[in-house]
Amino acid sequence: MGTAAYVQENEFDGLLSDETIVVVDCTASWCGPCRKIAPLIDQLAEEYDGRAKVVKLDLDQNRAIATKYSVRSIPAVMIFKNGELVENLVGVAPYETFTNALEKHL
């Protein structure tokens, strides 16, 4: 079973420049709804392995990124294409919501 790895702020910009498509799950340990979508994000990481890079970002440890992208409520799933933010999905959603958003940019 593939899982989405956690990334830190210092890796973030490099990741956006290295990968064409990056899916970032903004999460926090205290966030109940975030736990609900965590398995979906892992499933996304597995299903799109090789086509998109799927990562998790703990906002408690990476406040600057939350500020930069105006993440005010979580879970928030951001999709970047060629370093640009192209989708921002906020809240708990079914798996199809994430795959449909991702498919548009592949």
Among 22, 31, 54, 89, which one carries the catalytic annotation?
31
Average pLDDT across the chain, whole number: 95
Q: Rounded to two decimals, what is the model's pTM?
A: 0.95
Higher pLDDT, 100 or 2: 100
**What's the pLDDT at 3?**
83
Among 22, 23, 34, 77, which one carries the catalytic annotation?
34
What residue segments make up the domains of the chain, in order of their start? Answer: 5-95
- pLDDT of 69 strictly over 80: yes
Kindly write down the DSSP assignment for every residue of the chain, as one continuous string: ---PEE--HHHHHHHHHH-SEEEEEEE-TT-HHHHHHHHHHHHHHHHTTTT-EEEEEETTT-HHHHHHTT--SSSEEEEEETTEEEEEEES---HHHHHHHHHTT-
**What's the pLDDT at 16?**
97
CATH of domain 5-95: 3.40.30.10
| Residue 21 CA to its chain's centroid (Å) | 10
pLDDT tens, position by position, 28-44 = 999 999 999 999 999 99
Residues of the chain with pLDDT > 90, as a percent, come to 97
| Residue 1 CA to its chain's centroid (Å) | 18
Instruction: Rounding to the nearest 10 degrees, give the CA dihedral for residues 62, 40, 106, 58.
Output: 0
Query: What's the rounded mean pLDDT across residues 5-15?
Result: 95
Is 26 designated active site? no
Rounded-to-integer distance, Cα 37 and Cα 4, Å: 12
**What's the pLDDT at 2?**
66
